[in-house]
């Protein structure tokens, strides 16, 4: 007799961790919104307490209708999940398994690799150019076994961006059987006019999905709410694979209220751009190389001192994220915080 064993590949997964803080740390490690969330969303969350004994609407009809109204989409092609993260997992499980390949760019969001492994599929990393996804390298990584290609746009942790034109070129050259997933978790932060969140491709092709989240600009990371905009056939597949109640009553009610408060999203975008550029300039002045970012974090090249700097910051109660798991051991990912937090970061860096 032997003890239960997981499927091949599962034990090779290193669980995703976000460093736990000490007492009231300065959290610049999880790309959360330092402004918090909309007051209207908070009120809706509190009001949801009266429905705690009820199951949520498994179809999330009101939330999907609100999303469809805001974005001018067909609600039946929207699928909600417990964060975009759960949708990445559902998509991977639905479309890839043993013997299949899942392509992503070398410094792409780490969950693509982990969920591919969890599904028994083979993750395939395509080389990048200057820490930016390389469309041609992505295309040459495709084989008949490729089932899914994930692109985070903007990408975490590099902050780099592909234009709508590059995405369109990519989709045009990708074989039809490959599902292209554009993960636009930071879309609300982007102001570049050439940016493509993938939405146009979802409308124009039968094999592209766009993912979005309430965790970043909406400031609701703790709520666990994300959504995908899909071709009808893909939505039908995801609805079979997802749990029947994968978004809670509180998540649905709070999400609807957050969508109705676009002023908060605009405020978050404007604040983030100003603080990000100020922080980047100060870091550069301090002699560090900072990569251009379209999101709410900066990738900072710390040379051979990345670990030392991260530990020094942690000792001063400031948390940032190591990017060695992304193949960038010389870098740190630093979330743009409040003005005061960014100032604390800069003076701590000077000490270190």
**Binding residue for ligand PLP, selected from 32, 67, 80, 83, defined by CB under 6 A:** 83
Nearest approach, Cβ of 109 to ligand PLP (angstroms)? 4
From the number of C-beta atoms within 10 Å of its C-beta (0-12, 13-18, 19+), residue 282 rates as: middle
Residue 13 tokens read as 């997964």
Of residues 107-166, which lie at the interface with ligand PLP (CB under 6 A)? 109, 152, 156
The size of the interface with ligand PLP (CB under 6 A), counted in residues, is 13
Closer to ligand PLP by CB, 127 or 221: give it: 221
Is residue 226 within the footprint of ligand PLP (CB under 6 A)? yes
Nearest approach, Cβ of 185 to ligand PLP (angstroms)? 4
Closer to ligand PLP by CB, 112 or 264: give it: 112
DSSP state letter for 294 = S
d(CA 328, CA 221): 25
Nearest approach, Cβ of 118 to ligand PLP (angstroms)? 15
Cβ atoms 258, 225 nearer than 8 A: no
Is residue 84 within the footprint of ligand PLP (CB under 6 A)? yes
Closer to ligand PLP by CB, 215 or 247: give it: 215
Residues 6+ positions from 239 with CB-CB distance below 8 Å: 79
Is residue 275 within the footprint of ligand PLP (CB under 6 A)? no
Closer to ligand PLP by CB, 34 or 226: give it: 226
Is residue 190 within the footprint of ligand PLP (CB under 6 A)? no
Residues 6+ positions from 3 with CB-CB distance below 8 Å: none
Prior bond of 157 cis (ω within 30°): yes
Sheet containing strand 101-105, edge to edge, reads: 78-81, 226-229, 208-213, 179-183, 146-152, 101-105, 122-126
Nearest approach, Cβ of 292 to ligand PLP (angstroms)? 17
Is residue 188 within the footprint of ligand PLP (CB under 6 A)? no
Cβ atoms 306, 327 nearer than 8 A: no
List residues binding ligand PLP (CB under 6 A). 31, 83-85, 109, 152, 156, 183, 185, 213, 215, 221, 226
């Amino acid at each position: 007799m032997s003890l239960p064993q997981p499927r091949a590949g599962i034990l090779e997964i290193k669980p995703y961790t976000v460093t736990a803080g000490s007492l009231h740390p300065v959290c610049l490690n999880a790309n959360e919104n330092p402004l918090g969330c909309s007051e209207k969303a908070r009120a809706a969350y509190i009001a949801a307490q009266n429905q705690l004994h009820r199951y949520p609407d498994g179809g999330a009809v009101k939330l999907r209708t609100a999303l469809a109204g805001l974005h001018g989409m067909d609600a039946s092609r929207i699928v909600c999940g417990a964060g975009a993260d759960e949708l990445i997992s559902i998509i991977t499980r639905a479309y890839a398994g043993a013997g299949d390949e899942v392509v992503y760019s070398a410094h792409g969001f780490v969950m693509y690799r982990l969920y591919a492994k969890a599904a028994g599929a083979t993750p395939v990393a395509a080389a990048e150019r200057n820490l930016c996804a390389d469309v041609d390298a992505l295309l040459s990584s495709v084989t008949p076994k490729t089932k899914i290609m994930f692109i985070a746009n903007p990408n975490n942790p590099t902050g780099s961006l592909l234009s709508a034109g590059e995405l369109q070129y990519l989709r045009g050259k990708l074989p039809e059987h490959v599902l292209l997933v554009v993960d636009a978790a930071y879309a609300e932060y982007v102001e570049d006019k050439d940016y493509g969140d993938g939405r146009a491709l979802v409308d124009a092709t039968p094999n592209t999905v766009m993912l979005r989240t309430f965790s970043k600009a909406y400031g609701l990371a703790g709520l666990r709410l994300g959504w995908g905009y899909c071709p009808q056939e893909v939505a039908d597949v995801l609805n079979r694979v997802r749990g029947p109640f994968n978004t809670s009553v509180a998540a649905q009610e709070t999400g609807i209220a957050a969508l109705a408060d676009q002023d908060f999203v605009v405020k978050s975008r404007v604040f983030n751009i100003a603080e990000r550029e100020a922080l980047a300039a100060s870091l550069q002045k301090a002699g560090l190389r900072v990569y251009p970012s379209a999101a709410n974090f900066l990738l900072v090249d710390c040379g051979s001192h990345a670990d030392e700097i991260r530990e020094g910051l942690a000792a001063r109660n400031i948390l940032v994220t190591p990017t060695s798991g992304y193949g960038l051991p010389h870098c740190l990912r630093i979330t743009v915080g409040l003005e005061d937090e960014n100032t604390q970061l800069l003076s701590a860096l000077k000490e270190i």
